[in-house]
Amino acid sequence: MKNGSVAIGIIGAGIMGERLLNAILQQDPALIFACGIWDPSPEAMRRMEQSFPKVPRMSDAAAIIAASDCVYIASPPASHLGHARAALASGKSFFGEKPLSVDVADARAFVAEAGNRGAVNFPFASSFAVAAIRDWIDKGEIGTPQRVDIEVGFKVWPRPWQADAVGWLDRPMQGGFTREVVSHFLFLARRLVGPLHGLSGHASFPEAGKSERRIAATLRAGDLPVTLSGAVGETAKDDHNIWMLEGDKGAVRLCDWSIAERRLPDGTWQAAPDAMPNERARPLALKRQLEGVAKLARGEAHHLATLQEALDVQEIVESILAR
């Protein structure tokens, strides 16, 4: 590691690759720095040249891996494990987008061989809103937890800002809102409540060759029942979601990614004092994620989503989509 700073190379110059690159460039270079970016699309590389002229653009994934201490994998899902295996074979760690893969058996095999040398980008691991919810739970605000409810909705899918990725994001093989969005809230249930199991549910694919448009499922997180619903075209919002934990004395919830709220005795909901919209909260969470990536690269303990957590989420997601 150059002068103690962690070199992060990026594979994939789409929305997520660009987002994390922006975040890296805003951090202290003594902690982390961007050593390069690569995407197989010439158009994407031209865009990177225009937007980030000082960031090296490399010739292929192998060049990125060679230059990196930790490789960030933001390519489409089917390519994730190939790049991750190449990084590990070169003695590097990796930080990847979810899902680990769209092939559950391959993901299981990979997690068994990878150990603790990788992590997955579930930003709720670094969310200040999630920290507020955890604090309320630990202080007994809701009493004994009883159930979890997860609801997601979209005006259209993919969301408008994802239009450039429609080629895979709205196809059943790699895309869909269950993989892209619901997985985050399943991760939250697993981390705050317990392991996921006992799934019963289904997905609806009304448009040939397109990703799902509706899901409904029940499962358990630890000992608690979880209800899950999601749909496209039934809300005016581009992206609406609620994750709620109900207890025998109260409830807490996360709304629209970043607003933590608790239910007061009179039934009204009160936001956390530091609640902020996702546009403001995201950069703060990404900073904490990158602090975790630096620890991962150094072989230190970190708070990021583990490969096992990501695999558990993937198993539930793929089971829903297969039903």
Task: Supply the pLDDT for residue 165.
Answer: 87
- Cis peptide, bond prior to residue 29, ω within 30 of zero: no
**pLDDT tens, residue by residue, 127-171:** 999 999 999 999 999 999 999 999 999 999 999 999 888 899 999
98 and 225 housed in the same domain: no
27 and 71 housed in the same domain: yes
139 and 171 housed in the same domain: yes
Those residues whose C-beta lies under 8 Å from the C-beta of residue 223, and which sit 6 or more positions away, are 194
pTM for this entry: 0.96
241 and 131 housed in the same domain: yes
User: From the centroid of its chain, how far is CA 179?
Assistant: 9
52 and 138 housed in the same domain: no
User: What percent of the chain is modeled with pLDDT above 90?
Assistant: 95
* Domain residue limits at 37: 2-121+284-305
Domain count, the chain: 2
Mean pLDDT of 36-58: 97
153 and 270 housed in the same domain: yes
Angle between helices 104-114 and 307-322 (to 10 degrees): 170
**244 pLDDT more than 70:** yes
Measured distance CA(51)–CA(47) in Å, rounded: 6
Alpha helices in the chain (DSSP H): 15-25, 42-51, 61-67, 80-89, 104-114, 128-138, 166-169, 177, 183-192, 278-298, 307-322
**309 pLDDT more than 90:** yes
DSSP state of 57: B
**3 pLDDT more than 80:** no
267 and 150 housed in the same domain: yes
40 and 65 housed in the same domain: yes
Per-residue pLDDT band at 317 (split at 50, 70, 90): very high
176 and 34 housed in the same domain: no
Average pLDDT of the chain, as a whole number: 96
Task: Supply the pLDDT for residue 2.
Answer: 66
111 and 134 housed in the same domain: no
**pLDDT tens, residue by residue, 93-121:** 999 999 999 899 999 999 999 999 999 99
267 and 297 housed in the same domain: no
108 and 163 housed in the same domain: no
Taking a C-beta distance cutoff of 8 angstroms, is the pair 193, 168 a contact?
no
Q: What is the CB neighbour count within 10 angstroms for residue 26?
A: 11
Hey, what long-range contacts does 86-93 have (CB within 8 A, 24 or more apart)? 86/61, 86/62, 87/118, 88/114, 88/117, 88/118, 90/65, 90/66, 92/65, 92/68, 93/69, 93/117, 93/118, 93/296, 93/297
Supply the CATH number for residue 100's domain: 3.40.50.720
Supply the CATH number for residue 168's domain: 3.30.360.10
**4 pLDDT more than 90:** no
